[in-house]
Structure 1
Amino acid sequence: MIELYLKNGKNVADDSPAEVAVSGTKIMAVGHHLDGVRAHKTIDLKGKYISPGWIDDHTHCYEKLQLYYDDPDEVGYKSGVTTVIDAGSTGAENIGDFYQITRKKVTNVYSMINVGETGILAQNELEDLKTIQKAPLMKAIEQYSNFIVGIKARESHSVVINNDVKPLKLGKLFQKELGGNFPIMVHVGANPPELKSVLALMDEHDILTHGYNGKPNGILDQAGNIQQFVWEAYRRGVTFDVGHGTDSFNFHTFDIANAAGLIPQTISTDIYCRNRINGPVFNMATTLDKFLMYGYSLKEVISKVTEKPAASFNLVNKGYLQPGYDADLTIFSLNKNTEITLIDSNQNKRKYNQKICPQMTVVMGKAYQIGG
């Protein structure tokens, strides 16, 4: 007898019937109809969608910070997200404490380590290059190898002050020592450093977050066209991640990028307590609604928060609704003909008529009801 049987669900790819059987922490079987299943717990999904558990690859959820912080479970399983990746809130000095806290959470929590030892104790954490030290960073990655999944470098003026792209250059050296498969995510914003200089250092599979912001130091030139150096980075395989956040997703910028085909490979929120409570982020579902509004199919949108971020961060047991993968699942409805107002990071508003509503999450085989 297995632990959990989810019946009468619906596949996001084609609305076909979908059922899942879970044994322990793993998916045991997936099919249109699973016959003869005996389970300790059976849940009738009554036609709701069932997808691999959503992965948010840009969050800030180390609760002891003052600037950007949250409870991993508030931005995680309670909102439909089964796995969160913290984007460099902590560095070598405090990532061990963060790790210990996350072991008590329901949500799967991973972290990128900040290239600076202190993490984001202050906005300008990379002003002093002495905080960027190889030995403690490498030691932390070795000690917490099941937790640290990448390096984070924040390359905007308020963070690096007068150091331009030096922190990223150091981060790339560390990445090279760790092997080509260890990802680095780069935050971009106000200049200097110039976006062109940042992208020039980034290689295939490196992750650019906040790529669709509306700031002057962005992907568009003064005439409103995508800059050539942006296309060069995109075409050589730099991963473009949304990283919506309080100040980093602009409808006008994305109108142009989307029409031109400069589309994001991954969708993330850059969520923390203030933009979760006050907006414009609120949660992952609201962020996904914005991409449905742009005409992406449900299958495309969900892939950008499941298989694609799993690939970016080498989460080899997550991201797919297939036997043998971790039993992380998100169950949701798509409420149609429901008018909603979507807001970007610059308070621009757009109307839309569909809304993704998470109803339940399954995290490592355990089900949690989160909606009506």
Structure 2
Amino acid sequence: MYDVLIKNAKLVSGEMTDIAIKDGKIAALGTITDVTATRTMTLDSQVFVSAGWIDGHTHCYPNSPIYNDAPDAIGVTGGVTTVIDAGSTGADDVDDFAELAKACQTEVRALLNISRIGLLRQNELADKNDIDLPLAKQAVERHPEFVVGLKARMSGSVIGENGLAPLKSAKQLQHDCGCLPLMVHVGNAPPTLEDIAVLLGKGDILTHCFNGKPNRILTPEGKLRSAVKDAMERGMLLDIGHGSASFSFSVAEQSIEQGILPDTISSDIYCKNRINGPVFGLAHLMSMFFTLGLSHEQIIERVTANIAKALRLETKGQIVIGCDADLTLYEIEQTPVTFTDTEGDTRTGEQRFAPLAAIVGGNLTLTDRGHTHHVFHS
């Protein structure tokens, strides 16, 4: 007896399969007949099913005074099954966040800010006394499932006069915590991106990779900075982290034209840029990458398998027997849609991802569109 049986699931490849769920896990795949299930859902032919979408850079700690949101508002209601909060909390408040996350329908994980205060203020790395590595390590050890990595915001407005010292502390903490993934925010210099990239490699994620600031991955001539290229060759990954100030169509187009693709697509979403734009939600930004030349398969890979691998979420990101039953049901709608980068530049696309439902551990949540469309019949 299965808990849920999904019939006629259309995978990204176009292949059709049935998916059986039991005890929150994917239990069987293929053509499944002559079985009983508590709930059977037969999908319409236009509905795609992928591994659950993972937004690898969000700000969804509700009690953060600067950037905050409700995990479910950026998660299951938009087809996203897992959200990763990127540094809203540090050692001082991660316990509170971990407790709040338990009540969410969306799976919530956190990258621990290397500053103990998290985003209590904009310059959380300006006071060296707030970087307490033993305290941070204890926080990681208290929450081995919840804290999946570390976050260091390395821009001038954040670090004050501390230069590269916070990043060096982050790398030390990363080592002390069993080489946890480390996401590094790049913004305005100092420090320069070249100086940051020299310290990065395998296990590190450079977020805001297509920002349009002078401290961008491209030289003024439009070529990839050699220090960034070297870091990528050492294993550093590129993450979008669109946000309110960190994505340029010009930089993205120049980069992609040279074959420099982001490894992961994330939103850097919080309540203001969700409601007022330009982010709106992960699906909106995924759709934007159609206009930038990525395929359906490439886009889905960057919000499922790639981010799951980057953050070592071993039971997520794949439709494989034994993995978590986290699935996103969606259509690809053919309609004109306008996208705006963080510099006010726009592009118009002709199609978009339209999420219908999120299944987390076998539990179904319909999106607004899912409620109004007959996406399946039981």
TM range (shorter): over 0.9
> Over aligned residues, Cα RMSD in angstroms?
1.0
Q: Quote the offset at 1:344 in angstroms.
A: 1.1
Determine the structure 1 residue equivalent to 2:99.
100
Specify which of 328, 347, 359 is matched with residue 362 of structure 1.
359
Question: Contact 1:202–1:233 at 8 Å: present in 2 too?
Answer: yes
Task: Find out whether 1:7 has 2:4 as its counterpart.
Answer: no
Q: Determine the structure 1 residue equivalent to 2:238.
A: 240
Deviation at 1:236? 1.9
Q: Supply the distance in 2 between the matched residues of 1:326 and 1:16 (Cα, whole angstroms).
A: 21
For 1:24 and 1:154, locate their aligned partners in 2 and report how far apart those are by CA, in whole Å: 39
Measure how far apart 1:43 and its partner are: 1.4
| In structure 2, distance between residues paired with 1:149 and 1:305 | 16
Q: Structure 1 CA distance, aligned partners of 2:208 and 2:333? A: 28
Q: Does 1:214 align with 2:212?
A: yes
Deviation at 1:65, TM superposition (A): 1.3
Shift of 1:297: 1.6
Query: 1:248-287, aligned counterparts within 5 Å?
Result: 248-287=246-285
Aligned to 1:348: 345
Please report the TM-score for the alignment, with normalisation by the length of structure 1. Answer: 0.97
Q: Tell me the CA shift for residue 345 of structure 1.
A: 1.3
How far apart in 2 are the matches of 1:212 and 1:36? Answer: 51
Alignment-mate amino acid for residue 18 of structure 2: E
Deviations 1:257-295 (Å, cap 9, x if unpaired)? 101111111111101001100111100111101112222
Supply the distance in 1 between the matched residues of 2:134 and 2:78 (Cα, whole angstroms).
Answer: 37
How far off its partner does 1:19 sit? 1.9
Amino acid at match of 1:58: H
Query: Which of 16, 34, 37 is the aligned partner of 2:35?
Result: 37
Tell me what 1:138 maps to: 137
Q: Which residue is equivalent to 2:44?
A: 46
- Deviation readout 1:62-114 (Å, 9 max, x if unpaired): 01112111000001111111001100100000000000000000000010110
Distance 1:262 1:56 in 2: 21
2-structure distance, mates of 1:290, 1:226? 22
What's the counterpart of residue 375 of structure 2? none
How many residues get paired? Answer: 368
TM-score, normalised to structure 2, is: 0.96
Matched to 1:212, the amino acid is F
Distance in 2 separating the partners of 1:225 and 1:315: 33
List per-residue Cα deviations over 1:303-359 (Å, max 9, x = no partner): 1111111111111111100110000000000012x1111111111111110011000
| 1:33-63, Cα deviation, whole Å (9 max, x unpaired) | 3212311111122020000001111000001
Partner-residue secondary structure (3-state), 1:245: coil
Q: Distance in 2 between matches of 1:240 and 1:165?
A: 20
**Cα deviation 1:156-200 (Å, max 9, x = unaligned):** 1111111121101001011112223x1110000011111111111
Distance 1:139 1:178 in 2: 9
Structure 2 SS opposite 1:34 = coil
What is the match of residue 116 of structure 1? Answer: 115
Unaligned runs of 5+ in 2: 373-378
The answer as to 2:197 corresponding to 1:185 is: no
Separation of aligned partners in 1, 2:336 and 2:18: 30
* 1:186–1:209 Cα contact (<8 Å) kept: yes
Q: Secondary structure at the match of 2:352?
A: strand
Structure 1 stretches of 4+ with a deviation exceeding 3 A read: none
CA distance in 2: counterparts of 1:227 and 1:369, whole angstroms: 44
Corresponding position of 1:166? 165
Structure 1 unaligned regions, length at least 5? none
Distance 1:134 1:219 in 2: 29
**What letter matches 1:184 in structure 2?**
L
2:225 to 193, 206, 227: 227
CA distance in 2, matches of 1:129, 1:57: 27
* Higher mean C-alpha displacement, 224-233 vs 79-88: 224-233
Report the equivalent of 2:150. Answer: 151
Q: Which amino acid aligns with 1:173?
A: Q
Between the aligned partners of 1:284 and 1:22, the Cα distance in structure 2 is 25
Question: Secondary structure of the equivalent of 1:163?
Answer: coil
Contact 2:140-2:177 at 8 Å conserved across structures: no
SS of the aligned residue for 2:228 comes to helix
